[in-house]
Amino acid sequence: MSKESTYLRQALLVTALCASTFAASAANAAYTINFDNLSEGSLANADAIAQANGVTFASGQLTDIIDPVTFDVIGQHWLADPTWSIYANNPASTGWGMAPSGTQALDGRYDQVLMQFAKPTQLTHFSVAMDNSSYGFPANVNLLFLDANGQTVRSDSFQQNITTSFDVNFLAPTTVSAVLLPSGKFYDNIAVTAVPVPAAWALLSSGLMLLGFARRSV
């Protein structure tokens, strides 16, 4: 086999590998969690789409940040409370209206829900639908986007008893480790769009380096 043929095969292999990785990254960059693959009363963490994208749901607990030297309270952050679990239920069976997706929804009536990403994620869009009942707080509540330390990087307010959906587009990709959904509603059709994983860019760089090396070897 000629050197030119060997180089061509290497180029095709690297190109195919990069293309497949970028395709996978693009596929994983946007997803919607609707809990309809679960039965009523199931743990929200059992949702197949959430599991596939490294998303977990926990009870959110606001905790003081203590200075280790002075023991003074220097701030607060949100942490997952392991003593409570978050479930998916049918809003219609509790008189809270229909789930936007059809059957099940994330039950956040009595507990603020911490939606956690497996690793910091650069969000470009986030939206969530809520049950169509008039229940919920009649005053503004805050949906929070949190960093890796559980502190707020962005806060958006809405009035729960008259709001059926929340939608935000980020002007620039924003690194978020968790989203806090305030208590008082059922949440459904949680849609996330994020910048594709950096590993794809790393692979492309490696592929280009390999091509260059192969070309010099011809």
pLDDT digits (tens, 9 = 90+) for 123-172: 999 999 999 899 999 999 999 999 999 999 999 999 999 999 999 999 99
Average pLDDT score over the chain: 85
Q: Which amino acid is at 143?
A: L
Does 116 have pLDDT greater than 70?
yes
| Two tokens, residue 116 | 């956690």
d(CA 182, CA 161): 12
Instruction: Give the model's pLDDT for residue 82.
Output: 93
d(CA 181, CA 164): 14
d(CA 216, CA 28): 35
Closest among 65, 41, 66, 46 to 56, alpha carbons compared:
46
Q: What is the pTM assigned to this prediction? A: 0.79
Does 8 have pLDDT greater than 80?
no
Arithmetic mean of pLDDT, 196-210: 52
Instruction: Give the model's pLDDT for residue 213.
Output: 45
Share of the chain above pLDDT 90, in %: 70
Confidence tier at 212 by pLDDT (50, 70, 90): low
Q: Which residues contact 153 (CB under 8 A, 6 or more apart)?
A: 145, 146, 147, 174, 175, 176
Does 48 have pLDDT greater than 50?
yes
Does 214 have pLDDT greater than 90?
no
Does 16 have pLDDT greater than 70?
no
6 vs 130: which has the higher pLDDT:
130
d(CA 68, CA 90): 45
Does 210 have pLDDT greater than 90?
no
Query: Furthest-apart CA pair in the chain: how many Å?
Result: 75
Does 26 have pLDDT greater than 50?
no
Q: Which residues contact 143 (CB under 8 A, 6 or more apart)?
A: 128, 155, 156, 157, 158, 166, 179, 180, 181, 182
What does residue 143 show for φ and ψ, rounded to 5 degrees? -95, 125
57-98 confidence digits (pLDDT tens): 999 999 998 888 888 888 999 999 999 999 999 999 999 999
Closest among 4, 73, 40 to 217, alpha carbons compared:
4
d(CA 9, CA 15): 10
Arithmetic mean of pLDDT, 108-121: 97
Instruction: Give the model's pLDDT for residue 176.
Output: 98
C-alpha separations of 50 from 99, 113, 127, 206, 208 in Å: 18, 14, 15, 30, 34
Instruction: Give the model's pLDDT for residue 67.
Output: 85
Confidence tier at 23 by pLDDT (50, 70, 90): very low
What does residue 83 show for φ and ψ, rounded to 5 degrees? -80, -10
| Two tokens, residue 31 | 């997803």
DSSP annotation string for 69-83: TT--EEEEEEEEETT
